[in-house]
């Protein structure tokens, strides 16, 4: 049983975040930027959305594992749990002598070989400090397929698909909550991405929230400390652009809402950005903001 400890409120050691928005808003690129931040590297992306292709231009050295079903997701989760146990033991052994460290490093290598081809194994074992689930919207659909007994790699497109029921939707929501809680509680930075959806009837107050079924959107937002909405805003052409560039090139500025504004839902328990938004956000900016809060708490 985990030990019960009374403590004072403080900034937690790891970032738990959900970044949502439209496709092509830059969610995957923003999250993957953790691999370029000293306090967050190295990052492992669990790709269920097919959005990792864009990283070949922006974060080409980040590790990506593509999953197609819940069984593969479970394999990666088991890998991370074992990896984090060894990581903790390695940190302890460095204080106790080289011999202990050598044994643990060997075990880390052996574990890494279970999910990586030989060509990607380096001279030192990878130590992950961030995991990215991209995207929670697609993972939810994979969970539903699992519950309905659908194997997406073998299903025939013309075969009858089992109908969903209230029971299957309830079980689906339970599994999504369990997955989010399980990953959120891992001792490393955990970043989720999701698509967006608008809820509310015509003529009523409408809200933009992470794209998950029913009330699950609000429930998941309540489980995560930093929930933000990412979008692209058209930006005027720069003065130094040529006339041709001004006519033919669109300029964009990414904006990250960290507090609810208008119909867009967001939350920032860290209170990292009092203004409620970040222009051209990066994980470096977010990491620096957390460190500043930690120093001033």
b/e code 32-43 from CB counts within 10 Å (16+ = b):
bbbbbbebbbeb
What CATH number is associated with residue 64? 3.40.50
CA distances from 164 to 48, 56, 191, 255 (A): 22, 38, 29, 37
- Could you give the CA distance from residue 194 to residue 253 in angstroms, rounded to a whole number? 20
Q: What is the domain count for the chain?
A: 1
**Which structural domain range is residue 292 located in?**
16-69+129-296
Among 39-48, 187-196, 204-213, whose mean pLDDT is lowest? 204-213
Most confident of the ranges 90-99, 106-115, 198-207: 106-115
CB neighbours (10 Å) of residue 109? Answer: 15
* Whether residue 7 has pLDDT greater than 80: no
Whether 110 is in a domain gets the answer no
Residue 177 covered by a domain = yes
pLDDT tens digits along 130-166: 999 998 999 999 888 888 887 766 666 666 777 778 8
> With 50 as the cut, is the pLDDT of residue 14 above it?
yes
Residue 173: pLDDT over 70: yes
Residue 282 within any structural domain of the chain: yes
pLDDT digits over 254-293, tens only? 899 999 988 899 999 988 998 999 999 999 999 999 998 8
Mean pLDDT, the chain, integer: 85
Structural domain includes residue 256: yes
Residue 81 covered by a domain: no
Q: What is the pLDDT of residue 239?
A: 53
Q: What is the pTM of this model?
A: 0.87
Categorize the per-residue pLDDT at 200 as very low, low, confident or very high, splitting at 50, 70 and 90: confident
Mean pLDDT of 218-237: 84
Question: Within a domain: residue 82?
Answer: no
pLDDT tens across 34-73, in order? 999 999 989 999 998 777 777 877 788 899 999 888 888 8
């Amino acid at each position: 049983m985990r030990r019960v400890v009374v403590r004072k409120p403080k900034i937690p050691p790891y970032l738990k975040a959900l970044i949502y928005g439209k496709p092509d808003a830059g969610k995957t690129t923003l999250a993957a930027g953790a691999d370029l931040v000293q306090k967050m590297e190295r990052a492992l992306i669990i790709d269920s959305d097919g959005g990792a292709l864009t990283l070949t231009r922006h974060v080409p050295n980040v590790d990506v594992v593509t999953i197609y079903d819940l069984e593969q997701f479970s394999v990666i989760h088991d890998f991370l749990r074992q990896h984090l146990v060894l990581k903790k033991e390695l940190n302890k052994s460095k204080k106790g002598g080289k011999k202990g460290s050598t044994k643990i490093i060997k075990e880390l290598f052996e574990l890494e070989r279970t999910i990586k081809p030989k060509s990607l194994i380096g001279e030192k074992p990878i130590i992950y400090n961030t995991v990215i689930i991209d995207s929670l919207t697609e993972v939810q659909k994979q969970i539903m397929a699992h519950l309905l007994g659908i194997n997406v790699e073998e299903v025939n497109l013309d075969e009858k698909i089992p109908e969903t029921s209230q029971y299957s939707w309830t079980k689906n929501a339970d599994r999504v909550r369990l997955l989010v809680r399980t990953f959120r509680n891992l001792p490393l930075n955990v970043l989720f991405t999701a698509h967006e959806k608008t809820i509310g009837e015509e003529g009523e107050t409408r809200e933009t929230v992470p794209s998950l079924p029913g009330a699950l959107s609000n429930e998941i937002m309540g489980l995560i400390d930093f929930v933000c909405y990412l979008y692209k805003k058209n930006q005027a052409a720069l003065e130094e652009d040529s006339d041709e560039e001004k006519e033919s090139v669109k300029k964009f500025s990414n904006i990250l809402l960290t507090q609810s504004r208008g119909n867009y839902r967001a939350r920032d328990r860290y209170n990292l950005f009092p203004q409620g938004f970040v222009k051209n956000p990066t994980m470096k900016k977010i990491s620096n903001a957390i460190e500043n809060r930690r120093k001033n708490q």
